[in-house]
């Protein structure tokens, strides 16, 4: 496919240095907590010690008497001031910033202390006494589905997701949302299959562990509220706070700084509602600086249980696939219903499947709220379908890579949920990673107590659709440009990518386009910085704004030369008239037009995507997404049968990025996602005891270290340009993490002959499985 580069620029496809790279590695970049703001009072919270209980009484007198305390505020206090508006959330308005009436997880904030120092705030928070009337808790997602004890009395859909309105007032359930997909009759088709595999799979909840901790400062400024916060969603936060305080949007300002990692942990309602409510009702500037222990309680990745099956006929065609998915969303739904549908719909994988069925449910439990995490719930279902197809290939006696290659969706094929494939080259990704690890080459399978194996997996994900992005571009008289967008750079390099897109159109050099950090008083609306949507959505808005600027310059140059506009072309040397062969630089042109130095020319653009809602009966849609992500991972590893340790010798990951705007940043994103995926496969898990996190510190929560990294890690760029992407491009931030865990598990299966169905693959789990195999046989 031809990628339009008619602008003639020299930016797209270049390995420009990350705009903030030097400042990040030298510790010179200012994050939100480093920014100078008004002198703020410190906030500490008193948290619930019960997983599910009515609040009988909250005694705050001793806390209020602590020296330096300004105020002690309970959920009841805020409810009396704000009423039902205290309940916020993107899918359901179910989460109060301080518990009202009852608590729903261990660690839920019940009261807040405002004090002059952090030490005084913490001391006072410890003095708050809470009396509870315990309620039956529900900790297990499948027990929650059965009901009996209910986390919420009724469902309260928010105004953000209009498609949930029909759930208003539903009672006596912990299932807040359900997505069902039906194509054909998978049950009947499976009965005629020659080979069928099935399994019960589990992905535990995990934590994001972004290096920068959540932080919010808020203060009244006259009749306005000012907020500085660590968020991936400044536009959403402004609207949420305006609703909370009944203020017009122009009286709420939300600004950001570059984030030190996000991965979904800094989206939607986190610290902002509490900080805003305290600052506005108490008329005092406050700041909330989360500790690492606090961060573990703010949000998690969804734990997910999947019951799945897959069947093939005598010719090796996949005739049926079925998946029952239960996402554990914790005490509050957050964006769980979206994850349940957007991830559930591809729970059978990127394969040609004659008959498919999915039932995907979002389930409340008495645990901390789960929310978005890199991959948006897709890695959990990929863990199941890539284990199943691997086992199905082995049951048939086929090579797992070859079986996938035969059955993968191709360009134009219709996926099970009804949407055709475009710019999703699964086969090229699969071929690239298997070739990289020497899939067909010799392998020394036994080496003393080591056992070697190879594994592969393929991933698919839909981009968030529909969403909106806007861009405003200011071209300065000196030929430099300022780009205003609300995409938040959190280490993924979006500022650099957007600068390159604008620079490509305007023929500007490296460093000539500066991106303004998100500030709702200045930068225009953007739905969200997440889901790998920014390169495509914001990138298209930026390209349109830049093309509008190019058109303005061409018009000015045509007047300057006295020629038709079609006679003018923008080049790296300036604007050139083909008729007169005259050239004028941007700086000279603007100076001549305005008659002054330091002037600016401004354009703006919007990019909006659309979708076709799911059919109510089948769950299918002809356009469920604007575009697809395609990726694959292959691994060669060894397992120490004496210790249970897995050591990765070579890991290759590939992602179809459409067209790489900056190949260096693409490779970094593929590598970073792969490393995170290694953690999820071998280490990461939140451990709960009766609803309480028992490893909620970095002393106890195990992450991979540099010694756990693969001996060799190969990121591979696959380019299948998207017809409507900016220069053919699309995102890549999540692509590599999606197939990682099953690729590693499939390699362990190849090495040991044991199929694991629960993550992570810890040494203890592997040793137990080896013992069970040697004594009984079976899976783990």
- Cβ within 8 Å of residue 25, ≥6 positions away: none
Buried b (16+ CB within 10 A) or exposed e, 130-159: bebeebebbbebeebbeeeebbbeebbbbe
SS3 269: coil
Structure tokens at 755: 């199929």
Strand partners, 199: 308
- Cβ within 8 Å of residue 474, ≥6 positions away: 481, 482, 483, 484, 600, 601, 602
Calpha distance 124→431 (Å, rounded):
60
- The beta strands (E) that lie in 223-335 are given as 224-229, 252-255, 286-289, 300-301, 303-312, 318-330
First-to-last C-alpha distance (Å) of the chain: 46
Calpha distance 617→182 (Å, rounded):
8
Assess whether 35 carries a catalytic annotation.
Answer: no
- Are 536 and 547 in contact by the 8 Å Cβ rule? The answer is no
- Cβ within 8 Å of residue 538, ≥6 positions away: 469, 471, 485, 487, 494, 498, 526, 607
- Are 659 and 725 in contact by the 8 Å Cβ rule? The answer is yes
DSSP states along 546-576: HHHHHHHHHHHHHHHHTS-GGGEEEETTEEE
Tell me the angle at which helices 272-282 and 75-82 cross, rounded to the nearest 10 degrees: 70
Peptide bond into 760 cis (omega under 30): yes
The closest alpha carbon to 273, from 527, 43, 61, belongs to 43
Calpha distance 499→635 (Å, rounded):
35
- Looking up tokens 């094929």 gives 413
Q: Given phi > 0 = left and psi -120 to 50 = alpha, else beta, which region is 349? A: left
Q: How many residues does the chain have?
A: 780
- Looking up tokens 């067909």 gives 440
The torsion defined by the Cα of 96, 97, 101 and 107, in degrees rounded to 10, comes to 110
- Are 137 and 690 in contact by the 8 Å Cβ rule? The answer is yes
The closest alpha carbon to 436, from 653, 629, 647, belongs to 653
- Looking up tokens 């071929």 gives 431
**List 61, 123, 734, 776, catalytic entry:** 734
Long-range Cβ contacts of 546-550 (<8 Å, 24+ apart): 546/473, 546/501, 546/502, 546/504, 546/505, 546/506, 546/603, 547/7, 547/505, 547/605, 548/473, 548/603, 548/604, 548/605, 549/473, 549/475, 549/481, 549/505, 549/506, 549/601, 549/603, 550/7, 550/505, 550/506
Structure tokens at 582: 């005259």
Calpha distance 575→672 (Å, rounded):
41
Which residues are the active-site residues?
734
């Amino acid at each position: 496919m031809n990628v339009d580069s008619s602008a003639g620029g020299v930016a797209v496809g270049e390995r420009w240095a990350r705009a903030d790279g030097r400042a990040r590695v030298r510790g010179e970049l200012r994050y939100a907590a480093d920014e100078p703001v008004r002198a703020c009072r410190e906030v500490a919270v008193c948290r619930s010690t019960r997983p599910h209980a009515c609040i009988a009484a909250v005694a705050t007198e001793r806390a209020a008497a602590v020296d330096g305390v300004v105020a002690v505020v309970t959920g009841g206090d805020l409810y009396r001031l704000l009423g039902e508006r205290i309940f916020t959330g993107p899918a359901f308005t179910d989460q109060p910033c301080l518990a009202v009436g009852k608590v729903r997880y261990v660690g839920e904030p019940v009261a807040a202390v405002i004090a002059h120092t952090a030490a005084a705030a913490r001391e006072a928070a410890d003095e708050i006494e809470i009396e509870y009337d315990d309620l039956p808790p529900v900790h297990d997602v499948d027990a929650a589905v059965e009901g009996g004890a209910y986390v919420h009395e009724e469902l309260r859909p928010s105004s953000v997701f209009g498609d949930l309105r029909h759930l208003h007032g539903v009672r006596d359930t912990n299932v807040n949302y359900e997505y069902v997909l039906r194509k054909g009759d998978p049950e009947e088709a499976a009965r005629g299959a020659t080979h069928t595999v099935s399994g019960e799979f589990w992905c535990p909840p995990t934590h994001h562990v972004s290096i920068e901790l959540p932080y919010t400062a808020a203060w009244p400024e006259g009749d306005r509220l000012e907020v500085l916060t660590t968020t991936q969603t400044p536009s959403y936060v402004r609207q949420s706070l305006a609703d909370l305080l009944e203020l017009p949007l122009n009286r709420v300002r939300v600004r950001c700084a570059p984030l030190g990692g996000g991965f979904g942990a800094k989206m939607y309602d986190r610290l902002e509602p509490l900080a805003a409510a305290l600052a506005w009702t108490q008329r005092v500037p406050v700041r909330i600086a989360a500790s690492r222990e606090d961060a573990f309680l703010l949000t998690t990745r969804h734990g997910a249980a999947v019951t799945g099956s897959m069947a093939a006929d005598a010719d090796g065609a996949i005739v049926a696939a079925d998946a029952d998915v239960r996402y554990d969303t914790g005490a509050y739904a957050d964006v769980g219903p979206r994850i349940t549908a957007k991830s559930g719909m591809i729970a059978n994988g990127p394969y040609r499947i004659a008959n498919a069925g999915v039932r995907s449910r979002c389930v409340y439990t008495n645990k901390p709220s789960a929310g978005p995490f890199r991959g948006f719930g897709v890695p959990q279902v990929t863990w199941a379908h890539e284990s199943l197809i691997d086992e199905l290939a082995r049951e048939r006696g086929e090579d797992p890579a070859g079986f996938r290659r035969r059955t993968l969706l191709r360009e134009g094929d219709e996926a099970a949920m009804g949407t055709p494939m475009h710019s999703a080259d699964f086969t090229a990704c699969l071929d690239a990673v298997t070739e990289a690890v020497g899939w067909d080459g010799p392998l020394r399978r036994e080496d003393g107590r080591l056992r070697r194996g190879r594994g592969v997996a393929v991933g698919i994900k839909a981009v968030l659709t529909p969403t909106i992005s806007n861009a405003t571009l200011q071209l300065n008289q000196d030929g430099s440009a300022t780009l205003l967008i609300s995409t938040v750079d959190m280490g993924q390099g979006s500022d650099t990518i957007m600068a390159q897109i604008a620079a490509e159109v305007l023929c500007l050099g490296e460093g000539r386009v500066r991106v303004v950090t998100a500030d709702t008083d200045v930068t225009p609306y953007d739905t969200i910085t997440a889901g790998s949507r920014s390169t495509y959505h914001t990138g298209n808005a930026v390209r349109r704004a830049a093309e509008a600027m190019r058109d303005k310059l061409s018009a000015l140059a045509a007047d300057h030369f006295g020629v038709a506009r079609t006679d003018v072309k923008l080049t790296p040397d300036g604007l050139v008239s083909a008729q007169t062969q005259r050239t004028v630089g941007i700086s000279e042109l603007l100076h001549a037009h305005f008659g002054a130095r330091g002037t600016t020319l401004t354009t703006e653009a919007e990019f909006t995507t659309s979708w076709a809602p799911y059919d109510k009966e089948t769950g299918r849609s002809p356009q469920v997404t604007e575009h697809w992500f395609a990726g694959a991972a292959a691994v060669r590893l060894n397992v120490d049968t004496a210790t249970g340790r897995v050591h990765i010798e070579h890991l290759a990951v590939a992602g179809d990025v459409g067209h790489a705007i900056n190949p260096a940043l693409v490779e970094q994103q593929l590598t970073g996602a792969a490393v995170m995926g290694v953690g999820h496969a071998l280490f990461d898990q939140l451990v709960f005891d009766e609803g309480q996190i028992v490893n909620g510190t970095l002393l106890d929560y195990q992450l991979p270290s540099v010694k756990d990294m693969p001996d060799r890690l190969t990121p591979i760029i696959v380019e299948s340009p998207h017809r409507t992407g900016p220069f053919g491009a699309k995102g890549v931030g999540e692509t590599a993490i999606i197939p990682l865990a099953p690729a590693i598990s499939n390699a362990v299966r190849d090495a040991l002959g044991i199929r694991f169905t629960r993550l992570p693959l810890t040494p203890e789990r592997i040793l137990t499985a080896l013992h069970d195999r040697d004594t009984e046989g079976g899976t783990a």
